[in-house]
Amino acid sequence: MAELTKDMTFFELMRTYPESVKVLQKHNLGCIGCMGAQNETLEQGSRAHGLNIDTLMADLKAAIG
């Protein structure tokens, strides 16, 4: 299983950790239907949406165990 990092793409995150979708939705990230999810990293997407990457990562880590 891939390690959760800021450099993984949203697509890779959702494919590897399906439970992450609920966390993305909580942060108002509509990654499931977004074409950018294939290439955009978690860090890039967080910055683009004005989110704190450390907060997002903490929530994701809590959700995936």
Region 17-44: mean pLDDT is 89
- pLDDT tens digit sequence for 35-46: 778 899 999 999
Task: Report the pLDDT value the prediction gives residue 43, as an integer from 0 to 100.
Answer: 96
Among positive and negative, which fits the CA dihedral 18, 24, 22, 58? positive
The pTM (predicted TM-score) of the whole model is: 0.88
CATH of domain 10-64: 1.10.3910.10
Region 30-34: mean pLDDT is 77
60 Rama class: left (phi>0) / alpha (psi -120 to 50) / beta: alpha
Average pLDDT, the chain: 91
